[in-house]
A and B are shown apart, each in its own frame.
Chain A
Amino acid sequence: MTTAPVKAGWRFKQPSVIPGFGLTLGFSLAYLTIIILIPLSGLVWRSAALGWADFWAIAADRRTLNALKISFGTAFLAAVVNVVFGTVVAWVLVRYRFPGRRIADAMVDLPFALPTAVAGIALTTLYAPNGWIGHLLMPLGIKVAYTPLGIVVALVFIGLPFVVRTVQPIMEEIDKEVEEAAATLGANRFQIITRVLFPGLAPAIITGFSLAFARGVGEYGSVIFIAGNLPFKSEIAPLLIVIRLEEYNYEAATAIAAIMLALSFLMLLVVNLVQTWSRKRYG
């Protein structure tokens, strides 16, 4: 009798010396189901009970559309701002040694820890027309508090650590020799940063961007204080959901939530695809 040839192809379980594959996978799936999947499917379920016609009526409502536009627009802008300045902050923290560097480093994490409402109130006080910063901007005709610009400011505050903390470790790993190699080949400082260092950081920056963006879309606590919450102007989608809930209009609330969920999922999917593509190329 000959032995059966080993079947090539995909197998559910790869042979491995690390034990506990079944246990850990089972646990992870159960955990994700309880924590994420069930609540989210409940959301979809509730909004599906609405029927297409009603769903569209809510989705196409001007107030809803405006709220979504403001939520995603400000979150996007804030994430862009954070990518630029978060990368600069990470650069300074990684590259230079200066007194107080550790304190500055610790400060980056504050937006993680601070209750977002506190951040919102503090920012509002600063940027209100009679606040410390607000009264300086007033003569220039720039109004921050109670406008979409205020929302962006709040989201920049909230999202900063996401960019810094994802870019920083990758920046620390950059080999000094790579820069030296570029310099011996004749590249000046600017060329080294734009052509050698920055492309190497791109995957981390994209990750930081998507985290800051996702956080910004979902942010509620800090924004409602600084936004002024004028319908059609500075009302964010999460706030509109709360308003609908307070009106006992659960269907509308779940419908808006479902739309946000779909949009967020789509954007994160795109970011992930970009990531996979860049990782495949650069290893």
Chain B
Amino acid sequence: MEVRVVNVRKEFERFPALHDVSLDIRSGELIALLGPSGSGKTTLLRLIAGLERPTKGAIFFGDEDASQKSIQERNVGFVFQHYALFRHMTVADNIGFGLKVRHGATRPSGQEIRRRALELLDLVQLSGLEKRYPAQLSGGQRQRVALARAMAIEPKVLLLDEPFGALDAQVRRELRRWLRDIHDRTGHTTVFVTHDQEEALELADRVVVMSQGRIEQVGTADDIYDTPNSPFVYSFIGESSSLPVKVENGEVWIADRPIGLQAPHVPSGEAVLHFRPHDVELLDGCSGCIAGTVAASRRVAGTRRVELEIGGERQRVEIELPVDHPAAQKSRVAFRPRRWKLFPTS
């Protein structure tokens, strides 16, 4: 099911949590809402589910306006960070709950409900645990039961709120692969919220980066990482370094020296240069480059990360050097970013 969020605004007691957000979610897509806490990602997910009502705007499931429908009518599968399983029910009863509460002719027979529950239990690889109670399961198992329960109602969309947030790193990685696998097999339109960028970039078809109640950028992992469209996305996703610069006649300057970067389409004035610490070219001489003295150096896995002090104002910037690079404390290093982006200071 295709989901469209159209100009949605949400306020909590006059405090805006979302400003005018629009988003198209394609049918069958696995999409991640990524952002720091307070960015509005969970609010957006809850609005799609119907757990919150938008202050303004509408949400469409296909051509239907879902914002007029109650939670019960929307038929969404929602998975909570802390599982929210019914602890007085067995695993099988938990999964069958959504079918059991249906009315009249839409409710399958007891046998059919049980068959469906066992089938889903098999899908989430927990066969044989149907008689257990949630208290007897591990965190990872509980979350898989929660997912099976959400899928039992054949939801139009599957919504997951930090589904792996309460699990330890090992289980997280395992479940991530497993969720991708389940999605590929079942093809549910799936939206999940996370603050873990690795999780979002690895798992999702497209990533929605959010900050302060706004969508900053929507795109594939490649789009988001390689061509961030705002300073926020640049610094939030992956490692990044930034330097205040000046643009004059399409050339980038630091203090009184041009650094050899051409920016013909950027208007003259103050700007901030962003680049990835590992995506730099080291230079010997320096006519048109960024040069600085090494202020600190750390060994990080396969590379060495150094902090340079640039120019008279001692701006600090981080770059990565090969481990065998001779640079030591106080030695001068010159470099030029290979890939970079300028954002005018407003």
Contact = CB atoms under 8 A, between A and B. Distances in A.
B101 A195 contact: yes
B133 A186 contact: no
Contact of B71 (A175, A184, A195): A184
Interface stretch (B77-85, B186-194, B295-303, B327-335): B77-85
Given A177-B84, A281-B88, A186 B153 contact: yes
A191 B146 CA distance: 19
Contact of B149 (A185, A196, A202, A283): A185
Contact of B97 (A177, A185, A281): A185
Interface size class of B (residues with CB under 8 A): 20 to 34
B55 interface: no
A198 to B, nearest CB: 9
Interface string B86-117: 11110000000110011000000000000000
A178 B149 contact: no
Q: Which residue, of A186, A187, A202, has the highest number of chain B Cβ atoms within 10 A?
A: A186
A275 to B, nearest CB: 14
Contacts of A184: 49-51, 71-72, 74, 76-78, 150
A195 B98 CA distance: 12
A96 interface: no
A146 B258 CA distance: 103
A187 B101 contact: yes
A180 interface: yes
A181 interface: yes
Contact of B72 (A178, A187, A283): A187
Contact of A186 (B84, B102, B136): B102
Given A283-B133, A283-B136, A183 B72 contact: yes
Contacts of A199: 88-89
A200 interface: yes
Given A180-B78, A181-B80, A186 B72 contact: yes
B247 to A, nearest CB: 50
Given A187-B72, A283-B133, A283-B135, A181 B84 contact: yes
Nearest to B46: A180
Q: Which residue, of A182, A184, A187, has the highest number of chain B Cβ atoms within 10 A?
A: A184
A248 interface: no
A63 to B, nearest CB: 45
A188 B133 contact: no
A52 interface: no
Nearest to B149: A185
Interface string B48-77: 011100000000000000000001101111
A282 interface: yes
A282 B98 contact: no
A177 B82 contact: yes
Given A180-B84, A186-B153, A281 B72 contact: no
B71 A281 contact: no
Contacts of B72: 183-184, 186-188
Q: Which residue, of B49, B88, B97, has the highest number of chain A Cβ atoms within 10 A?
A: B88
A146 to B, nearest CB: 44
A188 B72 CA distance: 7
Contacts of A175: 82, 84
Contacts of B146: 181
Contacts of A191: 101
Nearest to B72: A186
A50 to B, nearest CB: 47
A283 B87 contact: yes
Interface of A: 175, 177-178, 180-188, 191, 195-196, 199-200, 202, 281-283
Given A181-B149, A184-B76, 13 more contacts: A178-B84, A181-B86, A182-B97, A182-B101, A183-B72, A184-B51, A184-B78, A195-B97, A199-B89, A200-B86, A200-B87, A200-B88, A283-B136
Interface of B: 49-51, 71-72, 74-78, 80, 82, 84-89, 97-98, 101-102, 133-136, 146, 149-150, 152-153
